[in-house]
Chain A
Amino acid sequence: MANVVLIGAGFAGQTAALYLGDALGKKHNITVINRYDVFGYTPSWVWVGVGQMEPEKTTFKLKPVYDKFHINFVQGTAKSIYVDDQYVLVDKADGSGETKVPYDYLLIATGAKLNFAGTPGLGPHNGYTTSICSLPHAIDARDRLFQLMERMEKGEKVKIVVGTGHPGATCQGAAFEYLTNIHKVLLKRGLRDKAELLWLSNEPALGDFGVRGLRVRKGGQIITSEDFIRAIFELYDIKWQVQTGVRKVEPGKIYWENYEGVEGETEFDFAMLIPQFLGPGFTYFDKDGNDITDQMANKGGFVLVDAIYGLDWDTLAETPEAWPAVYQNRKYKNIFAAGIAFAPPGSISRPFVNPNGLSITAAPPRTGMISGIIGRIVALNIIDLVKRGRMTHSERMTEMFAACIASMGDSLWDGSAATIVIYPVVPDPRTYPNEEGRDLFVTDMEMGLAGAWMKRMIHTTFMHKLQGRIGWKFIPE
């Protein structure tokens, strides 16, 4: 009987858990360790953050799902991993102390560690900005936004800044969507003229989104994502400042440096800035009790897998096989990492170091879709290893699709969304020998009501799928 342990119940972990439970749950031991007893549908926290969706519509309890799939659940925080003795040390959430969870196969799918401390003054707890990166944060952001709107209703003019809160942050798509939803909410409340909106980001250009942007042919013209987002911002009267790394935040002021090395500050009344994402940051020990973390994870705490690390960016851009295919640690082959937890071989967008030596480089995003696909690939491979002793599945991010749907209001009648479809996420110039390195039929961007329908459909289908409800396997990640 095999012990399969998963740390994390986000898109990657929950997808993997369902496949593993379905295939192995009755005869083998599948255990999920997660800090919380609920799954949170992160993409809809944008809507929670503007009061367009009730928080409870974005979560469901994990245990009833796991019971259906013969999965054990340990609610707690994983602290360290003993890679030779093969167990995870967990601090149990009920306060009863530590427990050892043994494994034959381990999947680390912890999602992002939100490094607010990486930017002094950032974040809702010890800082002055809001966040939509967790449900409590999104609720807090909503409440603060509503308080701000009350001030605006009394005639006050305000400045709202949304974007990235660290020179190496990612997730620009979510931040962009939050900004467009704020615009829509203010418009609906008749308050739009009371607010100056600013997009502040570390992207090399507008519309980069950490994936190098895209170019599509529309009506005979080539349109770049930079053109597309600029057109939206001009339509919505949103100002923008890119090539900027936020260094610190004080009450009402954001301090930044840009590509030219210029240091500046921007005032704000309300700011939502995405923090730097780090990996799980576990400590790894060998059989002699030595700390071997530097062999298992990179400096950011992301787990080293079957990627080719250390390539310069130009070489990486021409080497699709540098991206991992099976998400397996090279030394400890029974350890896998999925979703945000694995260490990518580099950035997708071109990195930049300014004259002050500051790297202002958008980190590669891992959306829910990508995380789910990786979770499935790893789960299927673990099933293969248990049943057949060898893996038969693989998929790199140079083969994966991503859809970024930035809603602008949630109405299914007169709403809208900017839909950006990218295939593959990481350009592959060998398979697609065009300037983009992408499939030019699938890769597209557009704006309209169809995007609003897509966004709502994806919320409903993902929530259905990840609860393991009928037909869950037929719904794509």
Chain B
Amino acid sequence: MTTFQITDKEKKKMQNKIVQAWRFIVLNLKILKAVDHSKRS
């Protein structure tokens, strides 16, 4: 297992609006996948 560090490259990605817009979509898709299961309960 490698020790994780927040590099300068990571910091730039964290504030890159296009990258973060994509991450926003992915996070919502993950939530929807879990919610879909929940709504069927």
Contacts and interface: CB of A to CB of B under 8 A. Distances in A.
B30 A444 contact: yes
A232 B31 CA distance: 24
Contact of B4 (A227, A414, A476): A227
B30 A442 contact: yes
Contact of A401 (B14, B19, B38): B38
Given A223-B4, A227-B4, A450 B20 contact: yes
Given A414-B15, A447-B6, A394 B41 contact: yes
Contacts of A358: none
Interface in A193-252: 218, 221-224, 227-228, 230-232, 234-235
Interface size class of A (residues with CB under 8 A): 35 or more
Contact of B38 (A421, A447, A476): A476
A436 interface: no
A399 interface: yes
A235 B4 CA distance: 12
Interface string A382-399: 000000000001110001
A329 interface: no
Contacts of B34: 400-401, 423, 439, 442
A447 B41 contact: no
Contacts of B17: 449
A52 B32 CA distance: 29
Q: How large is the interface on B (under 10, 10 to 19, 20 to 34, 35 or more residues)?
A: 20 to 34
B14 A416 contact: yes
Contacts of B6: 231-232, 234-235, 447
Contact of B31 (A228, A377, A421, A447): A421
A399 B40 CA distance: 11
B41 A441 contact: no
A238 to B, nearest CB: 13
Contacts of A101: none
Contacts of A373: 38
Nearest to A476: B35
